[in-house]
């Protein structure tokens, strides 16, 4: 009997060590998305299924940018990365707060995009997300965008994570299109020697409550993040140092809202302004109360 318990203890110890080691390997892959990158954005509509003879596909989009990905937070089971775009001339750069991605290990709480600025809160079982990482992607104003869960894969020299989930239209689309209201994003994040690749196969969907989804087109996205020397992103690092406390307040307020664990709907505009316009123009020394009032004014329910 003593031998049985000794063997059981040894097996549990080995399993626990192996699981902990895998989490650290995953985290190292996630953190390789931090740093200074020359980014090439490539999008092309590949297939059209619309019955409308006047249907116009989106034009191909090919663009480049310099981007700093800041490690904002790291815990045992969580990594937070804030992306900052650097535009303008080298002598007079301007910083634009871009998207944010949070990675949480074995997360069970999700805000899943439904359609038209509505997110449904969903609680998953621990078994459904065992060994998986959730990627939560946020807008420039730290409001929700999309999230999904999957396992990091490390095999044959490849390191990647992939997931398919519903999302709002990206800015390049919602500023020119109104004929669909959901993007089904198939995301693959792959770490490569020179940086990382965001590979996407997306579907453009018309969603109406009580009806079947209608796919009107498909799209390919292939964004290449090539690592460059961090010195090229000094302006963004400086900007974050000056503004991080303000955005920490913004994140804290949003986290309080998310902790309510209930469905969420957000207004597109209040008094003619989008939320990011309000937050970007606000004094970085603003009180929590003022920031909270601004954010809550956009919550419909």
Give me the pLDDT at residue 89, please: 87
Q: Is the pLDDT of residue 147 over 50?
A: yes
The tens digit of pLDDT for each residue in 89-106 reads 888 999 999 999 999 999
Give the integer Cα–Cα distance in Å for 182 and 103.
23
> Would you call 77 helix, strand, or coil by DSSP?
coil
Q: Is the pLDDT of residue 13 over 60?
A: no
Q: Is the pLDDT of residue 7 over 80?
A: no
Q: How many CA atoms lie within 13 A of 164 on its CB side?
A: 5
- Quickly state the pLDDT bin for 20 (edges 50, 70, 90): low
Cα of 234 vs its chain's centroid, Å: 23
Alpha-carbon separation of residue 41 from 10, 98, 204 (angstroms): 49, 14, 18
The tens digit of pLDDT for each residue in 125-142 reads 999 999 999 999 999 999
Cα of 166 vs its chain's centroid, Å: 12
Mean pLDDT of 144-163: 98
Contacts of 283 (CB under 8 A, 6+ apart): none
Alpha-carbon separation of residue 218 from 40, 119, 222 (angstroms): 20, 23, 14
The tens digit of pLDDT for each residue in 42-71 reads 999 999 999 888 999 999 999 999 999 999
Give me the pLDDT at residue 6, please: 55
Give the integer Cα–Cα distance in Å for 120 and 215.
21
Who wins on pLDDT, 11 or 147? 147
CB 102 within 8 A of CB 80: yes
Give me the pLDDT at residue 17, please: 47
CA dihedral 156, 157, 161, 163 (to 10 degrees): -40
Give me the pLDDT at residue 12, please: 47
Give the integer Cα–Cα distance in Å for 287 and 245.
11
Give the integer Cα–Cα distance in Å for 42 and 37.
15
Mean pLDDT of 118-124: 98
In the numeric block, which tokens belong to residue 191? 């770490």
pTM: 0.92
Q: Give the number of residues written for the chain.
A: 301
Residue 271 falls in which region: left (phi positive, over 0), alpha (psi -120 to 50) or beta: left
Whether the CA torsion 228, 229, 230, 231 is positive or negative: it is negative
Q: Does domain 18-229 have CATH number 2.40.128?
A: yes
Give me the pLDDT at residue 161, please: 99
Q: Is the pLDDT of residue 4 over 80?
A: no
Q: Among candidates 147, 189, 180, 143, which has minimal Cα distance to 165?
A: 147
> Would you call 186 helix, strand, or coil by DSSP?
strand
Instruction: Kindly report the backbone phi and psi dihedral angles of residue 37, in degrees, each rounded to the nearest multiple of 5, phi listed first.
Output: -135, 140
């Amino acid at each position: 009997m003593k031998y049985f318990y000794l063997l059981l203890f040894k097996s549990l110890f080995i399993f626990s060590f192996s699981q902990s080691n895998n989490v650290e390997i995953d985290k190292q892959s996630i953190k390789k998305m931090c740093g200074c990158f020359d980014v090439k954005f490539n999008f092309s509509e590949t297939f059209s299924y619309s019955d409308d003879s006047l249907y116009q596909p989106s034009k191909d989009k090919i663009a480049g940018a310099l981007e700093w990905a800041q490690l904002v937070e790291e815990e045992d089971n969580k990594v937070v990365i804030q992306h900052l775009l650097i535009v303008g001339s080298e002598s007079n750069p301007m910083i634009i707060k871009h998207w944010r991605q949070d990675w949480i290990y074995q997360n069970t709480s999700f805000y899943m995009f439904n359609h038209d600025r509505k997110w449904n809160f969903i609680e998953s079982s621990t078994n459904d997300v065992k060994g998986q990482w959730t990627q939560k992607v946020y807008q420039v104003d730290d409001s929700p965008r999309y999230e999904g869960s999957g396992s990091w894969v490390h095999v044959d020299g490849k390191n990647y994570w992939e997931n398919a989930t519903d999302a709002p239209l990206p800015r390049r689309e919602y500023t020119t299109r109104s004929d669909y209201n959901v993007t089904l994003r198939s995301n693959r994040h792959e770490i490569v020697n020179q940086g990382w690749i965001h590979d996407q196969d997306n579907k453009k969907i018309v969603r109406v409550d009580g009806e079947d989804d209608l796919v009107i087109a498909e799209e390919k996205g292939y964004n290449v993040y090539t690592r460059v020397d961090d010195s090229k992103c000094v302006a963004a690092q400086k900007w974050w140092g000056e503004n991080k406390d303000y955005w920490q307040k913004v994140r804290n307020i949003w986290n309080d809202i998310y902790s309510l664990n209930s469905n969420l709907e957000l207004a597109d505009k209040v008094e003619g302004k989008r939320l990011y316009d309000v937050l970007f123009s606000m004094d970085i020394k603003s009180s929590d109360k003022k920031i909270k009032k601004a954010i809550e004014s956009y919550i419909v329910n």
